[in-house]
Chain A
Amino acid sequence: MQKNKFIIGGVLILAAVVYLIASSTQASAEYFMTVDELKAEGPAALNKSLRLSGAVLGDTIQYDASTLTLTFEIAHVPGDNAEIEAQGGLAVVLHEAVSDPSRARIKVVYEGVMPDLLRNEAQAIMTGKLGEDGVFHAEELLLKCPTKYEEAVPDQSASN
């Protein structure tokens, strides 16, 4: 009898944990997507929390400091790290994405301070939602720049 009480107590806690995990996952899940996938998804992607990444097109960056509204376009880059490595690393992939006019592109709107790292050929990683207007409304904006950090071997010309 005593044992049963503890088993019931334990099962209750377990059930609570499972419920918390399941409901919280559902409430806050973000779907990783590339620009291609987002275009393919179409209207089904509306109202979903998305995590979108792409290469920033430098010419399209516009910033209105008085309203803190930032708009720019991004071009498709593969989402998979292994694929990026196979194509020659992040810097190469970003450069190709920006120079290739046939790549899928999407416009992004972000309200907030313009990040220092936002420039041509930076990788933008955003969370947000696709609007009815076809523009991606970013709530969070992270930027990655392939810097010399990632090169293990120094450039010889630098030493002379």
Chain B
Amino acid sequence: MSAHQIFSDALLTDGAACPPGLTTWNQSDPERRFAVYRNNVIVSLIDALADSFPVTQELVGEEFFRAMARVFARAHPPRTPVLACYGELFPGFIEAFPPAASLAYLADVARLEMLRVQAFHAADAEALGVDRIAALLADETQLGECRFSLQPSLGMLRSGYAVASLWAAHQAQDCAAALGEVDPLTAETALVLRVGLEVEIFRISTGAACFIDQLLQGLAFGPAAEQGLAADAEFDLASTLGLLIQGGALCAVTTHRSTTS
């Protein structure tokens, strides 16, 4: 085992022996100094998770959350020095974590919060101007063949639970009252999108989710709209487009003749 491996193992294991060969500049006890360092490492990782998953923490309470985050951080230490995106594996961990099993929606709420973090740090792309989109109407026959590129920050979560509503209730002034209005067992699909500097969450219909999914996969506008309608007879294409345009989610369009971005 390499010295590095011994050091990092000792760092992530409570009560493990101090790695051999450590010295201190002021003759203090290396064992004690190492324990301080070990505590700082784990506390900063737990703090990072608490920052990224605030609603998940509110759902279970700080004590439970921090204990769960500690188990996670030991099992899945970060792979890069950038803590901003740490926790990608946390929702999957929660899903398989027996103590949290009674809160079936907890993992999906964590997934939504991870999508928010990812959207926050996603690359910028200039939104397609309304005039450019309007210009597409000039050639109706080609409209169905247009292919739209969407914002890198755009993410979707299909859940069997009311994830978007639960999340929204936790943003309310009176969280308890807002939660009273939510039935967690209602399936919801959440659209996550950064609009300017704000990451926003929208509840969208099954049809809208299908339509957006098809656009993400590179399907042309016409066929994607048909898929949306096939998935959901109530699919409202106009309002879905309105949401995407308003949020600046469309950032490029390819027609047969040209690419506009």
State whether these chains interact: no
Using CB atoms and an 8 Å cutoff, list the residues of chain A in contact with chain B. none
Using CB atoms and an 8 Å cutoff, list the residues of chain B in contact with chain A. none
